[in-house]
Homo-oligomer: A and B are copies of this chain.
Amino acid sequence: MVEVAIVGAGLMGSAMAFPLSDNGHTVWLIGTHLDDEIIRTCREKRYHPRLRRALPENVLPCFSEEIPRVVPHVQVIVSGVSSYGVHWVGRAIAPYVRPGQKIIAVTKGLEATEDGDLCILPDVLAGELPEDVRDRIRIAAIGGPCIAGELAGRRQSCVVFGARDPETVESLAQTFRTSYYHVWTTTDVVGLEMAAALKNAYTLGVGLAAGLLEGIADDDASDAQMHNLAAAVFAQACVEIEYILRTFAAPRSFSYALPGAGDLYVTCQGGRTMRLGRLLGMGYSLVEAQELMAGETLESVAILQVLGRALPRLEARGVLEGDRLPLLRALTDTVCQGQPVVLPLDQFFQTVPELQNSQSVRCRSR
């Protein structure tokens, strides 16, 4: 039996309590200062209002004030916040973490340094911990396709845990694995987290198709959709993820396995990023679309803002070739510079050596 503190009582953090509880572990579900209403309902009704599901046994909901009491006594800490909360979690637990503890983060995102170097969020979190303890705490992260509401519903889910240290990641996998929560492990946590963050960026591109369809206001009696376009964007997303991972010496296989194509697929089945993409495709500006989605955490915007700053710097340093990322560039132009979305289809697939497009060559030689 392991004692676990989940910090962040939103959808994904809270869903992690289900496999843990089913494995007989004791789970403190600690809300952030934004989660007070959720925690109150959890305590009064043993019911999670956002997951719309009864809280499982062995789960003890508590307010963020209880971090000092709970955190020092657990073996595992789950960082269950969005990318916007990573620094907060690090600072909140920093005074109370102890050597030997493990931290595993569900958060998907990246940060960038002034030079454009990309940092994965588990490292950002670790950066907030006291220096003397930091190296004696094991940090891990979760990638792969997992919608929180399905995990809480004990639907079959296949995910990847990553940590630089193989013993850490295997021990965490054993703590979490159930008959419905299938955990693969990797020591390539940088590749895992890059793929996990990038899929939020690229899902926005796939979502555009639905909006573009509505935008043409075509009274089409034969009801043609725009799945062909969405699929082309999906494929180019996989191709660009492959190129980025290759550039950073991360596993190229993560472009077509659970962390890349799998996670991209599940994110394209609906949710906030697809809704935002649809609004942009319909012609709303980013500001207008954000107003229509007020109150929702938009991880796709966060990651595209990071990449919009980082890419020109990485390009200037010769790390990446921006020409090879036409889809990502179109998306960052839209999110960072408010430009209307233009999908440069004829520039797609240039990094696939087995595919040629003489149209594109002609366009570029002008």
A contacts, CB < 8 Å to B: 51-53, 144-147, 149-153, 155-158, 160, 170, 173-174, 177, 182-186, 188, 191, 213, 218, 220-232, 234-235, 238-239, 242, 251, 253-258, 260-263, 265-266, 268-270, 343, 345-346, 348-349, 352-359
Q: A353 touching B155 by the CB < 8 A rule?
A: no
CB distance from A142 to the nearest CB of B (A): 13
A262, B231: Cβ atoms closer than 8 Å: yes
A224-B150 in contact (CB<8A): yes
Residue of B nearest to A187 (CB): B354
What are 9 pairs between A and B in contact, CB < 8 Å? A151-B228, A156-B232, A158-B232, A158-B349, A160-B355, A183-B357, A230-B265, A251-B352, A258-B355
**Contact pick for A228, options B191, B223, B253, B266, CB 8 Å:** B266
CA distance A158 to B352 in the complex (A): 14
The 10 closest A-B pairs by CB, nearest first: A235-B262, A153-B224, A145-B231, A231-B266, A158-B232, A256-B256, A52-B222, A157-B228, A251-B354, A238-B256
Q: How far is the CB of A167 from chain B (nearest CB, A)?
A: 12
A147-B228, A228-B145, A262-B231 known; A152 vs B222 contact (CB < 8 Å): yes
- Interchain CB contact under 8 A, B239 and A256: yes
Q: How many copies does the complex hold?
A: 2
Q: Which residues of B contact A183 (CB under 8 A)?
A: 357, 359
Q: Report how far A340 CA is from B348 CA in the complex, Å.
A: 41
Q: Are A238 and B261 interface neighbours, CB within 8 A?
A: yes
Residues of chain B contacted by A232 (CB below 8 angstroms): 144-145, 156-158, 182, 258, 262
A58, chain B: closest CB distance, angstroms: 20
Quick check: A145 and B227 within 8 Å, CB to CB? yes
The smallest beta-carbon distance between A21 and chain B, in angstroms, is: 16
Asked whether B266 lies within 8 Å of A261 as measured between CB atoms, the reply is no
Q: Assess the A355–B227 pair: CB atoms within 8 A.
A: no
**Also in contact, A349 and B184, with CB within 8 A (given A256-B238, A256-B256, A257-B239):** yes
Residues of B within 8 A of A228 (CB): 145-147, 150-151, 155-158, 266
A225/B147 in contact, CB under 8 A: yes
Instruction: Determine whether the beta carbon of A158 is less than 8 Å from that of B348.
Output: yes
Contact in complex: A345, B182 (CB < 8 Å): yes
Assess whether A226 is in contact with B184, with CB atoms less than 8 Å apart: no
A222 touches B155 (CB 8 A): no
Say yes or no: B235 contacts A256, CB within 8 Å.
yes
A158 to chain B, nearest CB (A): 4
